[in-house]
A and B are shown apart, each in its own frame.
Chain A
Amino acid sequence: MKQGIFEIISNGPLTENVFKMALCGDTSAITGPGQFVNIKLDGLYLRRPISVCDLEGDILTLIYKVVGKGTEQMSKMKSGGLDILSGLGNGYDMSAAGENPLLIGGGVGVPPLYLLAKRLRAAGKSVAVVMGFNTSSEIFYEDEFKALGCDVTVTTVDGSYGIKGFVTSALPEKYSYVYTCGPEPMLKAVYGAIKTSGQFSFEERMGCGFGACMGCSCETVTGYKRICRDGPVLMKEEIKWRT
């Protein structure tokens, strides 16, 4: 974990509600894909946790959906510095991937899979990606994943693009391992549908984002875990679904 000021390089919409922000700063605390940063914004008390989408040297890319005051404020920024805590969360463990890992993302659960796909491709893996959205106008990053050399399948709930239905209706026959991130109902469906083990990235309202307040704890098979510190990535075998 590190606290520092990151300068905004660019910030703009990918879809109506989803924005991409590139920042420059000390990224040395970020150890891998699946981690997040926690951003301080003027006039708002709590920081906003956003997943790391891409990392190249000292350039950090975040993709976020405007869902409330904080993300709305972020979407209007064009330049300046942001007080950011970086290197938060455990992130995905790539050592379990096998030769042809499957990455499954839903909506703004897709961004953290980008850096993972990039690193897996760099390690010579054959990577399949299934990305689910509600409708065609909400789709982003399909081409970016394709440019990495991933085998990309897009699903839309309304059938306006790609395969009609949820991500679980488009899973390939063969894959060595699963990495996923998305809304909890999607994660639960993926959990029931996949044939291998996997790693699931969760979202929760957080206080601090670095393990001090116990605000985002959940119960797992292996005991209590803080989503911010012991997660956000949980192993399939340790997940205990809330009823």
Chain B
Amino acid sequence: MADLRTNLCGIELSNPVIPASGTFGYGYEFAELYDINILGTFSFKGTTKDPRFGNPGPRIAETPSGMLNAVGLQNPGVDKVISEELPKLRKVFNKKVMANVSGFSVEDYVYTCSRLDECDGIGWLEVNISCPNVHGGGISFGTSPEAAEKVTKAVKNAVKKPVIVKLSPNVTDIVSVAKACEDAGADGLSLINTLMGMRINLKTRKPIIKNVTGGLSGPAILPVALRMVYQVTQAVSVPVVGMGGISSAEDVIEMMLAGACAVEVGAANLIDPMACKNIIDQLPAVMEKYGIKNLKDIIGGAHNG
């Protein structure tokens, strides 16, 4: 019998599959199609202190084996997330959920995290310091070790729940940012957020995305994500959630061999709303094929020594 269980910052997951923030809403749309309680957990839509519409459209463009998005953190703000979305979410999901948080200042992050820290049913705070689609916030905290350390420290001092810092791949040295977060007290890390990219419409000769640039996700970025998870997990000892282009049970195993203790699945949910269910259903057979009895045993299996 294949053992799919894994552990994320002291909370056991029935399996390592976690829909990534921004690709799963608050779960309702997917709950129409399958019982989402089969998921390890899921990371709900990024939450900010104040409501945000996000960027003007078009926000989406197709790419070879992937897509660009520049949604820009559309969300109803932390008050409404707590008063309206979480009660609805609880009706379709009874496990601990992951709250994803973004901000434009250290105070923003602390405020939003503190509010969500008080909510029952939230297991982890995923602090997004890597959104490439908003100006003057998000990624500006994720591109220098010093800024990442400052946010992480401030949030850790304000909350009780485990803090997972979500890192950007749009940096020269992701390991130094990862180490800075670990030193500042992060309980875990998740990586990678999207890679900044763009596409141009040949007819109009203008960028397809109104924001000009967007974040690249999908199978195209899997090799970059694997490389970064591999490098970061060699350098830190906190648990790492791996993500970037995962679309199959084989991809999950590959990401765990690279060092991830769990995985987030993003763009695949948008193409196939049953993607996470299919991955979970197929994991036991794929594990058997590769002689894996217990998923925990393979974490970091690709590392030397």
**Complex CA–CA separation, A216 to B267 (angstroms):** 15
Which residues from B are CB-within-8-Å of A224?
A: 53, 74
Q: Which of A1, A47, A204, A215 has the most CB of B within 10 A?
A: A215
Expressed in whole angstroms, the minimum distance between the Cβ of B291 and any Cβ of chain A is 32
Tell me the chain A residues, 202-220 only, with Cβ under 8 Å from chain B.
Answer: 204-208, 210-219
Asked if A212 contacts B25 (CB within 8 A), the reply is: yes
Asked if A216 contacts B57 (CB within 8 A), the reply is: yes
Asked if B59 contacts A205 (CB within 8 A), the reply is: yes
A46 and B58 contact, Cβ closer than 8 Å, known pairs A3-B274, A224-B74: no
Asked if A212 contacts B23 (CB within 8 A), the reply is: yes
Chain A residue nearest in CB terms to B66 = A45
Tell me the chain B residues, 116-155 only, with Cβ under 8 Å from chain A.
Answer: none
Q: What 0/1 pattern do residues 28 to 67 of B give for CB contact below 8 A with A?
A: 0110110000000000010000000110111111111111
Task: Specify which of B30, B53, B57, B272 is in contact with A204 (CB 8 Å cutoff).
Answer: B57
Does B218 sit within 8 A of A, measured CB to CB?
Answer: yes
Asked if A242 contacts B61 (CB within 8 A), the reply is: no
Does B269 sit within 8 A of A, measured CB to CB?
Answer: yes
**Complex CA–CA separation, A150 to B274 (angstroms):** 41
Does A122 sit within 8 A of B, measured CB to CB?
Answer: no
Does B69 sit within 8 A of A, measured CB to CB?
Answer: yes
**Complex CA–CA separation, A210 to B269 (angstroms):** 11
Does B158 sit within 8 A of A, measured CB to CB?
Answer: no
**Complex CA–CA separation, A224 to B80 (angstroms):** 14
Which residues from B are CB-within-8-Å of A3?
A: 33, 272-274
Does A44 sit within 8 A of B, measured CB to CB?
Answer: yes
Does A40 sit within 8 A of B, measured CB to CB?
Answer: yes
Asked if A204 contacts B67 (CB within 8 A), the reply is: no
Task: Specify which of B29, B56, B69 is in contact with A242 (CB 8 Å cutoff).
Answer: B56
Asked if B63 contacts A214 (CB within 8 A), the reply is: no
Which residues from B are CB-within-8-Å of A216?
A: 57, 59-60
Chain B residue nearest in CB terms to A67 = B203
Asked if B59 contacts A212 (CB within 8 A), the reply is: no
Asked if B29 contacts A212 (CB within 8 A), the reply is: yes
Does B71 sit within 8 A of A, measured CB to CB?
Answer: yes
Which residues from B are CB-within-8-Å of A219?
A: 53
Which residues from B are CB-within-8-Å of A242?
A: 56
Asked if A213 contacts B69 (CB within 8 A), the reply is: yes
Asked if A212 contacts B57 (CB within 8 A), the reply is: no
**Complex CA–CA separation, A3 to B64 (angstroms):** 24
**Complex CA–CA separation, A156 to B257 (angstroms):** 62
Asked if A45 contacts B62 (CB within 8 A), the reply is: yes
Asked if B271 contacts A46 (CB within 8 A), the reply is: yes
Q: What 0/1 pattern do residues 184 to 213 of A give for CB contact below 8 A with B?
A: 000000000000000000001111101111
Task: Specify which of A1, A213, A218 is in contact with B57 (CB 8 Å cutoff).
Answer: A218
Does B109 sit within 8 A of A, measured CB to CB?
Answer: no
Asked if A208 contacts B45 (CB within 8 A), the reply is: no
Expressed in whole angstroms, the minimum distance between the Cβ of A239 and any Cβ of chain B is 15
Further 11 A-B residue pairs, CB within 8 A, beyond A47-B271, A214-B54, A214-B71: A3-B272, A40-B271, A205-B57, A205-B60, A208-B270, A210-B273, A212-B24, A215-B59, A215-B69, A216-B59, A217-B74
24 contacts between A and B (CB under 8 A): A40-B271, A45-B62, A45-B66, A46-B60, A204-B57, A205-B59, A206-B60, A207-B60, A208-B269, A208-B270, A208-B273, A210-B273, A211-B25, A211-B29, A212-B30, A212-B269, A213-B69, A214-B25, A214-B54, A214-B71, A216-B60, A219-B53, A224-B53, A224-B74
